[in-house]
């Protein structure tokens, strides 16, 4: 769908326009190389034996028969590499292969490398595991008190609680006591998963020079690099991590994953290259998707609709491991801190281990489920107070350059502009509560971090992103960085920023494949950090080169450097008389002194946030804002419904590549729609019943609403060229916009996601049984 | 995902195929488009050491107004506008099967004989082994309705109901020759739910025959599923009828996707002939159909809900057929 | 080698003659034996469309096709719909309209779209939606894919 045209004020040549992906031609021809496309001589097949038990003590594992099978090169069990790891340094509770116990159906308990798949599978079938079943823990509610057979020894005092967060700012009880309007919403959210189209794949090869090379479908090559080193006991400089093209991640490829370590271990054991490629069912078991969650939100407002307080509780089903869970537990509270002023705030969040596939980070991590409940609660307050939902939100919007009660610094925000743009475009004032029964319109809003201020890192002082540039006499500009393009278009943006600063054509810039041997560290694709941080680092590197080139150009033009400007593929002076020298000539002059030009640019956030425990969670150098309106139509006899249109008002600062920003918003809406309409990890007990793309209900093209995108952001002071994130924030508002639209359509509050047609019909039935008419029906 | 070893046979005639099957006595499966069989084989469901591909048997191909070859691709039916005009109900159903890519290979015969489905059955070997196998494959008890006699896997083909309401016959070949039976006789209501048809082992479905009366009926098919593509029916309602003005001449309703076999409700619809169909009468029939079906909890949507929708879809399908798609 | 295990067919316009046991799946043959890796494996069960190829000009799921059954037939993969230089109109439209993000679903969509446009050069939006409903994309929300195909079809 068309977005508003590029504002005439765009001062940039490339940025702010629609820039097709630089690697697009490779992708549309099948020439882009993904991990499974890579061939190595003598490649072995690695396969994993997975636990058929939800929870079991592993007494002994007999691999003799498997080892003896012809064609088998190695069989590994957990005792060989028992060093625990995990994405967060404070919660290392995973091992590459289960050591003493298996903790979910699908947990890895042994691994085989063999000459081909049939042999590997035959070998797996020969492994005998003597296991003693332990108590299954499927329900997180039961895990909050003392249990038999806790899943991890680390759980809070004999329970399965992995993390508990309690925060209180202001005085919530006092605020509720003086509130005129209150609303309470209890939300239940099934787990959802990334379901990227490319299954996980890793290839590893240990070579006689004592080095290990790992190709893997990962979003964060750097964390994989570190974890391989820790668990395998090999210094990082002897490990080389390469990220080929990645077929989608959405958070699911951001943890260092056990199979990546196992694959490397098998390569070391066998001395041969080994590949592990998941089948689709294994992708589902590996999960790390959005947590199944129950939350309860209470909101208080005064007579004018000013928000007084939030009181929030969340019970988060973590699955077998910690993963990003500590962050998740904080985010489920603190990501309620915008886009409104909330003077009093209380939160209690608990993440509980269960014997299910681990949950972790998924697009709009931690901000999605809580946002749904809040926006529904606001809809109730609006209804009760008779204040229009838009007016209510406008009245409470966080102002630019303000600070939240938990000390988030809000710098740029165009939230009000988002609201007014979608209100107008959707014709809200003529539709809200005025569409016929069965048709409805709803508003949902959101905000999200544009990168994390204090990420997982060696030391907080190291830059979060570094970009290297090299230009040689051919005039091509090589760009190195460990940022990980997983489809969001970061390679393209990297190239475009460099080209913009240097005034050259995009085709001069070659973004190199991520390779830890040559790419400087960038923390990779998570927390919506890439445009902001890599963008700033790239800009800084390019500015350095520009400085050198301008000096050379000044010499050639015979003018002082201050008067030299970057032109298109040249450097110019306005004169008089005006003159210009081609880029290549300037470059060659600049190279006379030192050969190829190189530059290194980096970005690090400024310290932010309070000093209380957990104060850093959710701090970011900037935040994106969203206001979405959805229009739905419901078949009131069957409960089936369609989302007809979504108006997406979004503030990502200055959109640097409109094609990519629109793509992120459309894709986010699609993914959000999936979580509202039908996607769910269907567990009975801890058994996943739908580990397939047939029974995991990703929406089809016919279900996609028309999308109208309204990009209304103003330049962010710190973002590169004024930009903020657009990769995750655009998902969040989709869910409550649909939920509130369904209410407008049929007068039923749906707080159990996904909202499948059977639930809609039950809601309508109940309303009819209670003889509560809605919009004349 | 590789397939376990099997031997592939490619007979060139119906007789050769049937002979092969009888020689291999039960140790074989017919392979049509493979879009149902191969996923099941990849999941190690009831593997056989021999596959008899029907690809090379010219007699099984093609379609006319009277006859649908068993090996006719769904996409080929879909692409024929004249066929749509004659049989709107069949066309509705064909267009709802799976996805365009599946329909490009999937056949009429394969669709009528599609394996019944269940959350406990359509799972990998690993998954099923981890829970304990069930009656329908490798095990001895049912996980849906705990007992050891009967399987409740759901019949999930889209075509059968729309052919049932047109009184289609099927032509079947076996070692002792050919026979014709009504399509309704193909599905075994009294069976154990595991064997999905009354075909004898090795019998081959040759064609579907449509009687002259089938043409030009007002017919339609409504399918309940979560997504408008990919998903098997959680319910399929087919209707076909003739009206003389407002008076019903004949009306048939068939329902699939809710029980182990698709079925027709003649006892409810026969009495409607000869009179105009009032909304109450229609409502009554719809509720009776609803009351008559017993879905179990082995698909994505809950059984109670699927039953509720039976009533709505029957009403709508009849109304739409009456009003709309007259041939 | 016994001739029974040889498979002859045309692949992207050229005859091929390969070793192929009965249970070999076309997708495996293409990717692993013939090393044509443009065709992607997303699920192996007919549920994603990443493995779409043309069989005698019509789209088919290579993960649900027994390789032996393409004997004497014409298989066209993404490599085969790509011109020797540059891009096909469908491919160019996919790039220009931003219809590819992670790109993993893209070869399948390009093959499906190519077949659609050959059969129906000016498809309506609804026809496009129906035609691509067997290809899953998790990145784009389909919006730009539909736009790209519509642009080639001139609607
Ligand atoms: C992702 C996906 C979604 C699907 N969704 C649907 C759906 O929505 N609706 C639906 O109806 N189906 C669906 N299917 C199932 C299947 O694709 C179709 O039913 C298709 O029509 C089956 O035809 P086929 O030729 O591929 O059958 P095959 O797989 O070749 O055969 C199916 C069964 O019938 C037997 N058989 C086939 N032909 C004959 C014959 N002539 N004589 C005797 N036995 C024979 C085979 O031995 C086998 O047991 C789906 C499949 C997939 C992979
Ligand atoms: S209904 Fe029972 S016996 Fe039949 S497939 Fe399901 S679990 Fe197995
Ligand atoms: S790989 Fe063939 S459909 Fe998914
Ligand atoms: S572009 Fe990633 S799945 Fe389609």
What is the spatial distance between Cα B258 and Cα B304, in angstroms, rounded to a whole number?
11
Flag whether residue C42 sits within 8 Å of chain B, measured between CB atoms: no
pLDDT at A643 over 80: yes
> Which structural domain, as residue segments, surrounds residue B129?
59-212
Judge whether C106 and C94 are in contact, CB under 8 Å: yes
Instruction: Kindly state whether residue B50 falls inside one of the protein's structural domains.
Output: no
Contacts with A733 (C-beta within 8 Å, 6 or more apart), sequence order: A371, A375, A444, A445, A446, A626, A627, A628, A648, A672
CB spacing of C45 vs A693 below 8 angstroms: yes
Q: Are residues B75 and B168 in the same domain?
A: yes
Q: Are residues B72 and B156 in the same domain?
A: yes
Can you tell me which atom of ligand 1 is nearest the CA of B109? 38
Return the SS3 of A296: strand
DSSP B200: P
Instruction: Kindly state whether residue B164 falls inside one of the protein's structural domains.
Output: yes
Q: Which of B212, B247, B263 is the last residue of a domain?
A: B212
Q: Are residues C55 and C112 in the same domain?
A: no
Instruction: Kindly state whether residue B239 falls inside one of the protein's structural domains.
Output: yes
Can you tell me which atom of ligand 2 is nearest the CA of B119? 6
DSSP A243: E
Residue of A666, A692, A694 with shortest CB distance to C140: A666
Give the count of domains, chain C. 2
Instruction: Kindly state whether residue B25 falls inside one of the protein's structural domains.
Output: no
Average pLDDT, stretch A621-636?
Answer: 98
Q: Are residues C66 and C93 in the same domain?
A: no
pLDDT tens digits, A515-563: 999 999 999 999 999 999 999 999 999 999 999 999 999 999 999 999 9
CB spacing of A703 vs B227 below 8 angstroms: yes
Q: Return the pLDDT at B325.
A: 46
Residue of C25, C64, C131 with shortest CB distance to B100: C131
Tally: H helices and E strands in chain A: 19, 32
Instruction: Kindly state whether residue B204 falls inside one of the protein's structural domains.
Output: yes
All residues of chain B having their beta carbon less than 8 Å from the beta carbon of residue A682 are 300
Average pLDDT, stretch A238-263?
Answer: 98
Q: Are residues C13 and C74 in the same domain?
A: yes
What order of strands is seen across the sheet that includes strand A570-573? A564-566, A570-573, A579-582
pLDDT tens digits, A319-377: 999 999 999 999 999 999 999 999 999 999 999 999 999 999 999 999 999 999 999 99
Q: Are residues B208 and B224 in the same domain?
A: no
Q: What CATH code is carried by the domain that includes residue B183?
A: 3.30.465.10
Q: What CATH code is carried by the domain that includes residue C39?
A: 3.10.20.30
Q: Return the pLDDT at B327.
A: 42
Q: Are residues B205 and B225 in the same domain?
A: no
pLDDT at C2 over 80: no
Q: Return the pLDDT at A2.
A: 46
Full set of structural domains in chain A with CATH: 2-32+463-603 (3.30.365.10)
Q: Percent of chain A at pLDDT above 90?
A: 95
Can you tell me which atom of ligand 1 is nearest the CA of B70? 41
- Across the B/C interface, how many CB contacts are shorter than 8 Å? 84
What is the spatial distance between Cα B65 and Cα B281, in angstroms, rounded to a whole number?
33
Q: Return the pLDDT at A776.
A: 82
Q: Which of C57, C81, C105 is the last residue of a domain?
A: C81
Residue with tokens 């939006």, as numbered in its chain: C125
Q: What CATH code is carried by the domain that includes residue B298?
A: 3.30.390.50
Instruction: Kindly state whether residue B277 falls inside one of the protein's structural domains.
Output: yes
**Å from CA of A263 to ligand 3 middle:** 25
Q: Are residues B152 and B279 in the same domain?
A: no
Instruction: Kindly state whether residue C1 falls inside one of the protein's structural domains.
Output: no
Q: Select the residue from A120, A637, A675 to test the B interface by mutation, using most B Cβ atoms within 10 A.
A: A637
Phi-psi region of A685 (alpha: psi -120 to 50; beta: other; left: phi over 0): left
Instruction: Kindly state whether residue B51 falls inside one of the protein's structural domains.
Output: no
Instruction: Kindly state whether residue C126 falls inside one of the protein's structural domains.
Output: yes
pLDDT tens digits, A187-211: 999 999 999 999 999 999 999 999 9
Flag whether residue C52 sits within 8 Å of chain B, measured between CB atoms: yes
Q: Return the pLDDT at A155.
A: 75
What is the spatial distance between Cα C147 and Cα C102, in angstroms, rounded to a whole number?
17
Angle C123-C125-C127 (CA atoms, 0-180°, nearest 5)? Answer: 55
Average pLDDT, stretch A445-459?
Answer: 92
Q: How far off is chain A from B78, nearest CA to CA, in Å?
A: 19
Average pLDDT, stretch A40-45?
Answer: 97
Average pLDDT, stretch A629-644?
Answer: 98
**Å from CA of B300 to ligand 2 middle:** 15
pLDDT at A575 over 90: no
Q: So what's the ipTM on this one?
A: 0.98
pLDDT tens digits, C25-34: 999 999 999 9
Judge whether C108 and C40 are in contact, CB under 8 Å: yes
Pairing of strands A641-651, A706-711: parallel
Q: Are residues B203 and B72 in the same domain?
A: yes
Instruction: Kindly state whether residue C122 falls inside one of the protein's structural domains.
Output: yes
Q: Are residues C38 and C12 in the same domain?
A: yes
Q: Which of A687, A319, A138 is nearest to A147 (CA)?
A: A138
Q: Are residues B199 and B251 in the same domain?
A: no
pLDDT tens digits, C98-109: 999 999 999 999
Q: Are residues B276 and B295 in the same domain?
A: yes
What is the spatial distance between Cα B284 and Cα B195, in angstroms, rounded to a whole number?
33
CB spacing of A21 vs C100 below 8 angstroms: yes
Contacts with A359 (C-beta within 8 Å, 6 or more apart), sequence order: A191, A287, A288, A289, A290, A291, A292, A316, A317, A318, A319, A323, A325, A328
Q: Return the pLDDT at A1.
A: 44
Q: Are residues C103 and C70 in the same domain?
A: no
**Å from CA of A756 to ligand 2 middle:** 25
Flag whether residue B23 sits within 8 Å of chain A, measured between CB atoms: no
Judge whether A633 and A644 are in contact, CB under 8 Å: yes
**What does the mean pLDDT of chain A come to?**
96
pLDDT tens digits, A713-749: 999 999 999 999 999 999 999 999 999 999 999 999 9
Q: Return the pLDDT at A7.
A: 53
Q: Which of A112-116, A247-251, A772-776, B97-101 has the lowest mean pLDDT?
A: A772-776
Pairing of strands A409-410, A56-62: unpaired
Q: Return the pLDDT at A404.
A: 97
Flag whether residue B38 sits within 8 Å of chain C, measured between CB atoms: yes
Q: Which of B212, B246, B276 is the last residue of a domain?
A: B212
Q: Are residues B104 and B182 in the same domain?
A: yes
**Residue C125: closest C-alpha in chain A:** A702
Q: Which of B179, B195, B212 is the last residue of a domain?
A: B212
Flag whether residue B55 sits within 8 Å of chain C, measured between CB atoms: yes
Q: Which of C81, C114, C138 is the last residue of a domain?
A: C81
Q: Return the pLDDT at A6.
A: 47
Average pLDDT, stretch B144-171?
Answer: 96
> Which structural domain, as residue segments, surrounds residue C42?
6-81
Q: Select the residue from C22, C33, C107, C149 to test the B interface by mutation, using most B Cβ atoms within 10 A.
A: C22
Q: Return the pLDDT at C155.
A: 66
Q: Return the pLDDT at A636.
A: 97
Model confidence at B129, pLDDT cuts 50, 70, 90, reads: very high
Q: Are residues C11 and C76 in the same domain?
A: yes
All residues of chain A having their beta carbon less than 8 Å from the beta carbon of residue C77 are 30
Q: Return the pLDDT at B196.
A: 84
Q: Are residues B222 and B174 in the same domain?
A: no
Q: Are residues C118 and C55 in the same domain?
A: no
Model confidence at B1, pLDDT cuts 50, 70, 90, reads: confident
All residues of chain B having their beta carbon less than 8 Å from the beta carbon of residue C64 are 34-35, 38-39, 102, 105
Q: Which residues pair with A189 in a beta bridge?
A: A293, A753
Q: What CATH code is carried by the domain that includes residue C111?
A: 1.10.150.120
Q: Percent of chain A at pLDDT above 70?
A: 99
Q: Are residues B313 and B195 in the same domain?
A: no
Measure Cα distances from A427 to A391, A423, A424, A721 in Å. Answer: 15, 6, 5, 33
pLDDT tens digits, A125-167: 999 999 999 999 999 999 999 999 999 987 778 999 999 999 9
Q: Are residues B185 and B317 in the same domain?
A: no
Q: Return the pLDDT at A576.
A: 84
Give the count of domains, chain B. 2
Q: Are residues C13 and C73 in the same domain?
A: yes
Instruction: Kindly state whether residue C59 falls inside one of the protein's structural domains.
Output: yes
Token digits of residue A319: 């699955």
Instruction: Kindly state whether residue C24 falls inside one of the protein's structural domains.
Output: yes
CB spacing of A662 vs C94 below 8 angstroms: no
Token digits of residue A260: 């990546």
């Amino acid at each position: 769908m068309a977005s508003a045209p590029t504002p005439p004020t765009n001062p940039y040549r490339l940025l702010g326009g629609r820039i097709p992906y630089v690697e697009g031609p490779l992708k549309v021809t099948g020439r882009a190389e993904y991990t499974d496309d890579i061939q190595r001589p003598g490649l072995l097949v690695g396969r994993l034996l997975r636990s058929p038990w939800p929870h079991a003590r592993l007494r002994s594992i007999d691999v003799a028969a498997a080892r003896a099978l012809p064609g088998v090169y190695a069989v590994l069990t957990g005792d060989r590499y028992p060093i625990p790891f995990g994405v967060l340094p404070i919660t290392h509770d995973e091992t590459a292969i289960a050591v003493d116990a298996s903790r979910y159906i699908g947990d890895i308990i042994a691994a085989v490398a063999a000459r081909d798949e049939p042999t590997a599978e035959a070998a797996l079938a020969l492994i005998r595991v003597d296991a003693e079943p332990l108590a299954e823990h499927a329900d997180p509610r039961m895990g909050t008190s003392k249990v038999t057979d806790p899943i991890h020894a680390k759980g809070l005092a004999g329970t399965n609680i992995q993390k508990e967060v309690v925060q209180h700012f202001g005085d919530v009880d006092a605020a509720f006591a003086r509130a005129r309007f209150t609303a309470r919403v209890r939300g239940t959210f099934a787990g959802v998963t990334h379901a990227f189209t490319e299954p996980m794949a890793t290839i590893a090869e240990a070579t006689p020079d004592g080095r290990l090379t790992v190709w893997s479908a990962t979003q964060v090559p750097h964390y994989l690099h570190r974890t391989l080193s820790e668990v395998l006991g090999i210094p990082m400089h002897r490990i080389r991590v390469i990220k080929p093209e990645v077929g989608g991640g959405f958070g699911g490829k951001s943890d260092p994953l056990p199979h990546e370590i196992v694959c490397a271990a098998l390569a070391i054991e066998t001395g041969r290259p080994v590949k592990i490629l998941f089948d689709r069912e294994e992708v589902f078991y590996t999960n790390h998707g959005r947590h199944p969650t129950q939350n309860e939100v209470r909101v208080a407002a005064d007579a004018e609709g000013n928000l007084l307080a939030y009181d929030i509780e969340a019970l988060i089903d973590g699955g077998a491991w910690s993963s990003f869970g500590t962050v998740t537990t904080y985010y489920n509270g603190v990501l309620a801190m915008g886009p409104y002023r909330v003077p009093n705030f209380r939160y209690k969040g608990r993440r509980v281990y269960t014997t299910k596939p681990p949950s972790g980070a998924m697009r709009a991590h931690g901000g999605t489920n809580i946002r749904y409940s809040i926006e529904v609660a606001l809809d109730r307050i609006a209804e009760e107070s008779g204040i229009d939902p838009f007016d209510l939100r406008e009245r409470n919007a966080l102002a630019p350059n303000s600070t939240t009660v938990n000390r988030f610094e809000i710098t740029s925000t165009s939230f009000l502009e988002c609201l007014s743009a979608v209100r107008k475009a959707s014709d809200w004032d003529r539709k809200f509560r005025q569409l016929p029964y069965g048709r409805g319109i709803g508003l949902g809003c959101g905000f999200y971090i544009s990168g994390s201020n204090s990420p997982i890192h060696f030391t907080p002082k190291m830059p979060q992103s570094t970009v290297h540039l090299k230009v040689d006499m051919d005039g091509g500009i090589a760009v190195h960085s460990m940022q990980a393009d997983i489809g969001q278009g970061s390679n393209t943006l990297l190239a475009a920023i460099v080209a913009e600063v240097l005034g050259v054509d995009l085709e001069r810039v070659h973004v190199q494949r991520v390779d830890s041997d040559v790419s400087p560290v960038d923390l990779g694709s998570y927390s919506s950090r890439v445009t902001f941080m890599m963008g700033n680092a790239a800009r800084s590197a390019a500015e350095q080169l520009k400085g050198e080139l301008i000096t050379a150009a000044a010499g050639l033009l015979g003018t002082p450097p201050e008067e030299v400007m970057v032109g298109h593929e040249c450097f110019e002076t306005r004169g008089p008389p005006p003159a210009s020298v081609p880029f290549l000539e300037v470059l060659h002059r600049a190279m006379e002194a030192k050969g190829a030009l190189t530059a290194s640019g980096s970005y690090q956030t400024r310290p932010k946030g309070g000093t209380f425990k957990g104060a850093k969670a959710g701090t970011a150098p900037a935040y994106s804002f969203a206001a979405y309106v959805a229009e739905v139509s419901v078949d009131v006899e069957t409960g089936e419904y369609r989302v007809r249109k979504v108006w997406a008002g979004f503030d990502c600062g200055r959109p640097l590549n409109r094609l990519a920003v629109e793509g992120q918003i459309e894709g986010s809406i699609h993914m959000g729609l999936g979580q509202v309409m039908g996607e769910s990890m269907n567990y009975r007990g801890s058994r996943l019943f739908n580990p397939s793309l047939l029974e995991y209900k990703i929406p089809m093209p016919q279900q996609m609403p028309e999308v109208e995108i309204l990009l209304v952001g103003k330049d962010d002071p710190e973002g590169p060229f004024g930009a903020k994130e657009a990769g995750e924030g655009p998902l969040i508002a989709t869910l409550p916009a649909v939920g509130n639209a369904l209410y407008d359509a049929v007068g039923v509050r749906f707080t159990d996601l996904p909202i499948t047609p059977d639930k809609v019909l039950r809601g309508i039935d109940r309303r009819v049984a209670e003889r509560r008419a809605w919009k004349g029906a | 995902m590789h397939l376990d070893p099997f031997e592939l046979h490619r007979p060139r005639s119906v007789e050769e195929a049937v002979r092969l099957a009888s020689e291999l006595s039960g140790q074989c499966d017919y392979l049509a488009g493979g879009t149902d069989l191969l996923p099941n084989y990849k999941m190690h469901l009831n593997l056989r050491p021999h596959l008899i591909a029907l690809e090379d048997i010219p007699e099984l191909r093609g379609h006319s107004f009277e006859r649908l070859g068993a090996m006719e691709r769904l996409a080929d039916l879909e692409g024929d506008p004249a066929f749509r005009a004659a049989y709107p109900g069949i066309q509705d159903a064909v267009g709802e099967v799976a996805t365009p890519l599946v329909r490009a290979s999937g056949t009429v015969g394969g669709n009528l004989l599609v394996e019944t489905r269940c959350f406990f059955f359509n799972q990998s070997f690993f998954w099923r082994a981890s829970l304990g196998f069930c009656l329908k494959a490798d095990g001895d008890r049912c996980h849906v309705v705990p007992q050891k006699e009967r399987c409740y896997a759901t019949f999930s083909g889209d075509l059968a109901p729309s052919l049932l309401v047109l009184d289609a016959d099927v032509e079947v070949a076996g070692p002792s020759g050919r026979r014709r039976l009504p399509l309704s006789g193909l599905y075994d209501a009294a069976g154990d739910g595991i064997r999905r048809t009354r075909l004898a082992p090795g019998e081959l479905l040759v064609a579907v025959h449509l009687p002259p009366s089938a043409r030009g009926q007002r017919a339609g098919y409504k399918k309940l599923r979560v997504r408008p593509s990919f998903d098997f029916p959680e319910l399929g309602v087919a209707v076909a009828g003739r009206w003389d003005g407002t008076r019903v001449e004949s009306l048939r309703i068939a329902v699939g996707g809710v029980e182990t076999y698709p079925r027709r409700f003649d006892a409810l619809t026969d009495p409607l002939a000869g009179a105009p169909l009032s909304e109450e009468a229609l409502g009554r029939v719809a509720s009776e159909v609803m009351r008559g079906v017993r879905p179990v909890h082995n698909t994505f949507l809950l059984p109670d809900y699927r039953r509720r929708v039976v009533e709505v879809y029957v009403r709508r399908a009849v109304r739409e057929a009456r009003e709309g798609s007259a041939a | 080698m016994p001739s029974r295990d040889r498979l002859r067919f045309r692949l992207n316009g050229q005859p091929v003659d390969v070793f192929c046991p009965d249970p070999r799946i076309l997708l495996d043959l293409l990717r692993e034996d013939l090393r044509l890796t443009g065709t992607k494996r997303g699920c192996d069960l007919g549920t994603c469309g990443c493995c779409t190829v043309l069989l005698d000009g019509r789209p088919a799921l290579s993960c649900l096709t027994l390789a032996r059954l393409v004997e004497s037939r014409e298989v066209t993969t993404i490599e085969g719909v790509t011109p020797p230089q540059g891009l096909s109109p469908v491919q160019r439209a996919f790039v220009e309209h931003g219809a590819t993000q992670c790109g993993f679903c893209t070869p399948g969509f390009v093959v499906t779209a190519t077949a659609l446009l050959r059969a129906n050069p000016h498809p309506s939006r609804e026809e496009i939606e129906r035609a691509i409903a067997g290809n899953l994309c998790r990145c784009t929300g389909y919006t730009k894919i539909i736009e790209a195909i519509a642009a080639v079809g001139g609607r």
